[in-house]
Amino acid sequence: MFLPFSWILGAEWTPSGSNPIDSFFRGLVGACGISVLCSLMRVNHFIQSCSKQRSPSPGNPPSWNWRAALQFWSLTVLLSLVGSRVSSLIVLEFSLRAVSAWADGRGLDLLLLQSQFSLGCGLTCTLVFLHQGAPRSSFSLFLAAALSWGLASTIHNLWSHVARLYPLHSTERYCGKCITLLTSGHTILASLQRAVVLAFALATVASTTTVYDHFLSQKDALKFWTPLTLCYTMLVVYIQEDQHRHSGTEALLHTVVLRLGALLVLMLTVGYWSDVFHVLITFLGEAACLLPSQDLLQAVLKEEEDASLSKSRHKLTRRTSSDDS
């Protein structure tokens, strides 16, 4: 039975009860989704850097193969261990931050980069929701994992091809892949944003159902959750303001610590010990996503800084021209 402050009263450790093989398949799908997101973002920034005739910021992927493999399988294991309850809360929290950032007019590139582990959690909790009570859920999850593996491998091979050969092929114009990216590569980011928004929309529905079943269906639960939700919303607003004042890797990691620290306190208050353990796993998951993406983070921050500087110059030029007239 779920009770507030049950961790103080000695609540039992409640395992998720899920088949370990099913959990592994779900974790594999989530890791593949993160891999597709990162690879497409790298392809987009590499093409943009080449079009601006400056040296591309992302590194050459062949020298990073063993690190990419380590990151991928680490994320698979971590996403397999995080339960649907904590995954649902992470998805809803990121959706709240995304709406706040969109309303605040901040760049979406940085938000996409921050969404990596949340996207993996969104995919896993969506699969849990879709396969509840399914008679052949293990086979369905195996098919989903196989398709996700194929898609992630294809996109990673595309990124490897682009990083090695795009500067040459885009000028010689004899490679179909590079010619296609040269003509329509500017649409990658917009398509990726739409796909991520769709994934989070489905995950939000699944997460809302899971949170209601596990947290809000208890008697008088809303009386307890309403002030907690308001406090968490205020924290999200504070985080957004803090990102305005600071930028860079330290600010991003500080944001992660604030978010997950608040979620840890929340689970210590209303969750089981297993939920607390799952929140601690999410710290490792966020680190496994963000630390290997430092080059991509620097490229995104540089683009945001250049865009902000260009906008300021444009405003100054317009103001000067209006004063002269």
pLDDT (0 to 100) of residue 219: 63
Q: Which two tokens stand for residue 78?
A: 């971590």
Per-residue model confidence as pLDDT tens digits over 165-213:
888 777 777 788 888 888 888 889 889 999 999 999 999 999 988 888 8
Q: 15, 131 in Cβ contact below 8 A? A: no
Per-residue model confidence as pLDDT tens digits over 244-297:
555 566 667 777 877 788 788 878 877 788 888 999 999 999 989 988 888 888
Q: 83, 17 in Cβ contact below 8 A? A: no
pLDDT (0 to 100) of residue 143: 95
Q: Which of 290, 241, 236 is nearest to 262 (CA)?
A: 236
Q: Which two tokens stand for residue 214?
A: 């596990």
Q: Output Rg (C-alpha) for the chain, integer angstroms.
A: 22
Which carries the bigger pLDDT value, residue 300 or residue 57?
300
pLDDT (0 to 100) of residue 248: 61
* Rounded Cα gap, residues 111 and 193, in angstroms: 10
pLDDT (0 to 100) of residue 311: 65
Task: Give the number of other Cβ atoms within 10 Å of residue 104's Cβ.
Answer: 12
Q: Which of 70, 64, 60 is nearest to 161 (CA)?
A: 60
pLDDT (0 to 100) of residue 35: 94
Per-residue model confidence as pLDDT tens digits over 74-107:
999 999 999 888 999 899 888 888 887 777 666 6
b/e 87-101 (16+ beta carbons within 10 angstroms → b): bbbbbbbbbbbbebb
Tell me which H or E stretch contains 307. Answer: helix 294-324
Q: 13, 267 in Cβ contact below 8 A? A: no
Q: 92, 204 in Cβ contact below 8 A? A: yes
* Rounded Cα gap, residues 258 and 269, in angstroms: 17
Name the DSSP class of 225.
H
Number of H helices, E strands in the chain: 13, 0
Amino acid 211 reads V
Which carries the bigger pLDDT value, residue 226 or residue 110?
110
Give yes or no for residue 224 having a pLDDT over 80: no
How confident is residue 60, by pLDDT bands cut at 50, 70 and 90? very low
Amino acid 154 reads T
Per-residue model confidence as pLDDT tens digits over 269-282:
777 888 889 999 99
* Rounded Cα gap, residues 51 and 56, in angstroms: 10
How confident is residue 23, by pLDDT bands cut at 50, 70 and 90? very high
Give yes or no for residue 148 having a pLDDT over 90: yes
What size, in residues, is the chain? 325
Which carries the bigger pLDDT value, residue 309 or residue 155?
155
pLDDT (0 to 100) of residue 10: 36
Percent of the chain with pLDDT over 90: 30
* Rounded Cα gap, residues 146 and 127, in angstroms: 14
How confident is residue 16, by pLDDT bands cut at 50, 70 and 90? very low
Q: Which two tokens stand for residue 106?
A: 């901040």
* Rounded Cα gap, residues 240 and 228, in angstroms: 19
| Average pLDDT of the residues of the chain | 79
Phi, psi of 16 (to 5 degrees): -70, -20
* Rounded Cα gap, residues 41 and 133, in angstroms: 36
Cα–Cα distances (Å) from 41 to 108, 145, 217, in that order, read: 12, 22, 40
Tell me which H or E stretch contains 257. Answer: helix 249-270
pLDDT (0 to 100) of residue 247: 58
Question: Hunting for tokens 């601006």 — which residue is that?
Answer: 52
Give yes or no for residue 59 having a pLDDT over 50: no
pTM flag (> 0.95): no
Per-residue model confidence as pLDDT tens digits over 111-137:
888 899 999 999 999 999 998 877 888
